[in-house]
């Protein structure tokens, strides 16, 4: 047995050496992928998908900064004597996010394998701390923040990225096969349930729906059976329906979404004001900075309803431009996933892309009355430091995968 193991190890080492020699003949800077199945493309390449993602990211964050300047004046004046206070904060976080992107797009994504479990555990601990009344910070009936003074962050945003990295690492292990549901499907579903339970203690139904959607998408691309996913989806949908049915304020919010005119000054108010703002913008908008909804007529205009402000000030043209950018990210992210050098990179690209696109769809859908309001931001556009930095960090990881595609 021992001699056989030695022979097998020797053959494996020779195979890796031959593969590396072949790789270096074609690419002097190439390295072997961790699974030893072939050369990893050189890190310095600027592929087509990489450039497209860079341009889409730059367009969204720059537009987000401009809209922050327009939409944060009213809330800034309500809390301070300066109309620039929130804009300066957003500009600072954009700078932090930019540094994060530049670092992460150069950091080989394979390095995220080892700390994946530690990062996920740390985020679970932060979510648990957020639920404690003596630790978590509350606002508008929700306890979703940690911090003190001017340093406040939202653990649920960090959890999204940690969840994707951990699930990608778990499902890409050489000893894990999707046919063995005990080592693949079940751990992911259990983790999804634990994260969702901690999020519901805040409560944050929107983040729960997002985590569930990302998990389902990653499992599908990993090769899980549709019957298993359908069963898990049925259970999740049933639990969501129960949460809505037995929670008066959630039930009223859903009813307000179904018929906002039934309670135009209550549960239907945000939806109606959002639709009114976008209708007022018409085709080409009222002009940047000329919108009225942000001046107290539309609650949370700079966060949950920034898309309505874009529609009012930049019109249908501006709204379609934003939607087009997210469609570009979706198509390019899928291309990166399909051309990723290994399974881990593929699942990372799938997870990050599905997170950004699902969150954008939920936010935009709420603004145009297609979905109920679930209290999540529009990625890269809404005001919010934790959301902006975490999403830009995720884009940095996706860009690194794009640099190494086949």
Tens digits of residue pLDDT in 281-321:
999 999 998 899 988 889 999 999 999 999 999 999 999 99
Cα 359 to Cα 380: distance, rounded to the nearest angstrom: 11
Q: Which residue has the tokens 């830009």?
A: 392
What mean pLDDT, rounded, does the chain reach? Answer: 87
Instruction: Indicate if the pLDDT at residue 330 is higher than 70.
Output: yes
Does 246 lie in the same domain as 151?
Answer: yes
Taking only the tens place, the pLDDT of each residue in 210-247 is: 999 999 999 999 999 999 999 999 999 999 888 888 88
Segments forming the whole domain that contains residue 30 = 1-40
Is the C-alpha dihedral spanning 300, 302, 305, 310 positive or negative?
A: positive
Cβ count within 10 A of residue 370: 11
221: closest CA among 180, 171, 187, 181?
Answer: 171
The phi, psi pair for 282, rounded to 5°, reads 65, -145
Does 125 lie in the same domain as 75?
Answer: yes
Does 9 lie in the same domain as 115?
Answer: no
User: What value does the mean pLDDT take over residues 81-100?
Assistant: 88
Whole-prediction pTM: 0.88
pLDDT number for residue 250:
82
- Residue at which a domain ends, from 10, 25, 40: 40
Taking only the tens place, the pLDDT of each residue in 26-64 is: 344 444 444 444 455 555 567 799 999 999 999 999 999
Instruction: Indicate if the pLDDT at residue 381 is higher than 90.
Output: yes
Which of 24-33, 187-196, 376-385 has the weakest average pLDDT? 24-33
Does 229 lie in the same domain as 106?
Answer: yes
Cα 43 to Cα 218: distance, rounded to the nearest angstrom: 25
Does 92 lie in the same domain as 23?
Answer: no
Q: What proportion of the chain, given as a percentage, has pLDDT over 70?
A: 87
Cα 124 to Cα 339: distance, rounded to the nearest angstrom: 32
Does 76 lie in the same domain as 34?
Answer: no
Is the C-alpha dihedral spanning 84, 90, 96, 97 positive or negative?
A: negative
Instruction: Indicate if the pLDDT at residue 264 is higher than 90.
Output: no
Into how many domains does the chain fold?
2
Cβ count within 10 A of residue 292: 15
Instruction: Indicate if the pLDDT at residue 19 is higher than 70.
Output: no
Which of 91-105, 169-183, 226-240 has the weakest average pLDDT? 169-183
Instruction: Identify the bridge partners of residue 142 per DSSP, sorted by sequence position.
Output: 139
pLDDT number for residue 80:
62
Instruction: Indicate if the pLDDT at residue 380 is higher than 50.
Output: yes
Which of 166-170, 269-273, 350-354 has the weakest average pLDDT? 269-273
Does 254 lie in the same domain as 226?
Answer: yes
pLDDT number for residue 72:
87
Instruction: Indicate if the pLDDT at residue 363 is higher than 90.
Output: yes
Does 50 lie in the same domain as 36?
Answer: no
User: What value does the mean pLDDT take over residues 170-179?
Assistant: 88
Is the C-alpha dihedral spanning 278, 282, 288, 293 positive or negative?
A: negative
153 against 322, higher pLDDT: 322
Cα angle at 139 between 381 and 322, to 5 degrees? Answer: 10
Does 33 lie in the same domain as 62?
Answer: no
User: What value does the mean pLDDT take over residues 388-397?
Assistant: 98
Cα 322 to Cα 63: distance, rounded to the nearest angstrom: 9
Taking only the tens place, the pLDDT of each residue in 102-130 is: 999 999 999 999 999 999 999 999 999 99
Does 149 lie in the same domain as 292?
Answer: yes
User: What value does the mean pLDDT take over residues 69-88?
Assistant: 77
Cα 353 to Cα 346: distance, rounded to the nearest angstrom: 11
pLDDT number for residue 4:
47
Does 28 lie in the same domain as 96?
Answer: no
pLDDT number for residue 214:
98
pLDDT number for residue 24:
44
Instruction: Indicate if the pLDDT at residue 13 is higher than 90.
Output: no
Does 79 lie in the same domain as 59?
Answer: yes
Instruction: Indicate if the pLDDT at residue 274 is higher than 50.
Output: yes
């Amino acid at each position: 047995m021992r001699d056989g193991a030695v022979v097998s190890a020797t053959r494996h080492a020779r195979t890796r050496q031959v593969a590396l020699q072949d790789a270096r003949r074609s690419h002097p800077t190439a390295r072997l992928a961790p699974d030893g199945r072939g050369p990893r493309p050189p890190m310095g390449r600027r592929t087509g998908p990489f450039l497209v993602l860079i341009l889409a990211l730059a367009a969204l964050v720059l537009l987000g900064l401009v809209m922050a300047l327009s939409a944060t004046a009213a809330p800034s004046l309500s809390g301070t004597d300066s109309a620039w206070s929130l804009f300066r904060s957003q500009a600072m976080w954009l700078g932090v996010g930019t540094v994060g992107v530049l670092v992460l797009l150069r950091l080989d994504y394979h390095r995220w394998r080892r700390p994946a479990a530690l990062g996920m555990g740390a985020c679970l601990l932060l979510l648990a701390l957020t639920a404690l009344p003596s630790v978590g910070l509350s606002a508008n009936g929700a306890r979703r923040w940690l911090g003190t003074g001017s340093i406040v962050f939202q653990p649920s945003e960090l959890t999204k990225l940690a969840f994707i990295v951990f699930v990608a690492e778990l499902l890409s292990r050489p000893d894990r096969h999707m046919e063995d549901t005990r080592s693949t499907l079940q751990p992911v579903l259990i983790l999804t349930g634990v994260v969702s339970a901690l999020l519901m203690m805040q409560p944050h139904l929107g983040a729960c729906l997002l985590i569930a959607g990302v998990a389902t998408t990653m499992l599908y691309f990993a090769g899980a059976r549709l019957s298993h996913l359908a069963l898990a989806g049925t259970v999740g949908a049933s639990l969501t329906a129960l949460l809505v049915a037995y929670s008066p304020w959630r039930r009223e919010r859903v009813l307000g979404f179904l018929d906002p005119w039934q309670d135009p000054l209550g549960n239907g108010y945000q939806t109606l004001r959002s639709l009114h703002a976008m209708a007022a913008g018409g085709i080409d908008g009222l002009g940047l900075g000329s919108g009225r909804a942000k001046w107290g007529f539309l609650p949370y205009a700079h966060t949950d309803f920034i898309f309505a402000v874009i529609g009012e000030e930049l019109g249908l043209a501006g709204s379609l431009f934003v939607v087009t950018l997210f469609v570009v990210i979706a198509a390019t992210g899928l291309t990166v996933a399909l051309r990723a050098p290994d399974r881990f990179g593929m699942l990372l690209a799938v997870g990050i892309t599905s997170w950004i696109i699902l969150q954008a769809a939920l936010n935009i859908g709420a603004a145009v009355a297609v979905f109920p309001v679930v209290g999540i931001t529009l990625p890269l556009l809404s005001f919010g430091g934790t959301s902006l930095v975490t999403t830009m960090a995720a884009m940095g990881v996706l860009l690194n995968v794009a640099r190494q595609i086949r």
